[in-house]
Every structure is written in C-alpha cells, then in structure tokens.
C-alpha cells in the first residue's frame, strides 16, 4: 500500500490551499502524498510552490482525482455549487461530496453565508487545528 493521498482543493488566489499544504508538509513531510487541485491555474501554482507533490487544475482534474483520495481538505466552499465567484462548479461540488473519503473543511467563506456555532479564528489557528488534530484522527481511520 502506497502513501496516503491527501487532496487539497482551493480556488481564486490559492492562499488557503497553500497555507494548508505548507503546514501539512511541515507536520508530515514526505509521509503523505499531497495533491494540489486548483479551480484555476493560479491557485494550483500557489499550492505547488507551497510544497505539493503534484498538482492539477480545473473541473475535470478535480472530479477525477478526488475519487482516489484518502482525504479531501479545503475551505467549506468547495462543497457549494457556484461558490468562489463561480469557480466551484456544480460538478466539482458534487464530486467532492460524492467521493467516499473523509473531508476536512475550514469554515471560511466569502459567500453570503453565515455558519452558526463556529467562532472566528484566524487562518493559521484553523490550519493548525486541522493538521495537528483532525488530519491525524482521519489518517488513523483510513
């Protein structure tokens, strides 16, 4: 059995995905295969610079690759059709939610949505909790 495959999905400028990948690589090094899946080339490029093992861009690449993921990580908006100024297509949102792997989602959104019960934490705090707690838990189960 090969390395666990983690798919990090982001769009727009790729800053959230790049931050996630940086922290994942710091915590796990090369013990995980981290794939950068961008809704656009800029997002993919930023995530590749942050240390992803491989990357791909666009609806088809995301829909195909998440099927083979051991875990999918990104902002909650990757599960919403037409989020991120339309970059998250209905097919992308469906593929993310239909893949059998666990999803770890950050409660960040630029959409006109309020998620009740979630405190406002800065991105670095959220990413640290994701990498140090939630990802560790998920990896133990997959």
Evaluated on CA atoms 58, 34, 14, 71, the torsion sign reads positive
Quick one: pLDDT at residue 84?
93
**What fold is seen in the domain 4-141?**
Rossmann fold (3.40.50)
Quick one: pLDDT at residue 81?
96
pTM of the model: 0.93
Tell me how far CA of residue 21 lies from CA of 32, 94, 98, 116, in angstroms: 11, 23, 23, 27
Quick one: pLDDT at residue 116?
85
Can you tell me the distance from the alpha carbon of 88 to that of 86, in angstroms, rounded to the nearest whole number? 5
Q: What is the pLDDT along the chain (142 residues), one digit of tens a residue?
A: 588 999 999 999 999 999 999 999 999 999 999 999 999 999 999 999 999 999 999 999 999 999 999 999 999 999 999 999 999 999 999 999 999 999 999 998 777 888 888 888 888 899 999 999 999 999 888 7
Write down the domain spans for the chain: 4-141
HSE (side-chain half, CA atoms, 13 Å) at 50: 27
> If residue 41 lies in a helix (H) or strand (E), which one and from where to where?
helix 41-49
State the helix-helix crossing angle for 41-49 and 15-28, rounded to 10 degrees: 30
């Amino acid at each position: 059995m090969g390395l666990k495959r983690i798919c990090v999905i982001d769009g727009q400028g790729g800053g959230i995905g790049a931050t996630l990948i940086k922290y994942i690589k710091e915590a796990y090094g090369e013990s995980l295969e981290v794939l950068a899946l961008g809704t656009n080339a800029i997002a993919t490029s930023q995530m590749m610079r942050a240390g992803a093992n491989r990357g791909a861009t666009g609806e088809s690449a995301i829909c195909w690759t998440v099927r083979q993921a051991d875990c999918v990580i990104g902002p909650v908006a990757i599960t919403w059709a037409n989020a991120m100024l339309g970059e998250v297509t209905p097919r992308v949102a469906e593929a993310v939610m239909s893949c059998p792997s666990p999803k770890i989602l950050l409660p960040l959104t630029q959409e006109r949505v309020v998620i009740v019960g979630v405190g406002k934490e800065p991105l670095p705090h959220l990413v640290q909790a994701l990498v140090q707690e939630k990802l560790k838990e998920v990896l133990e189960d997959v």
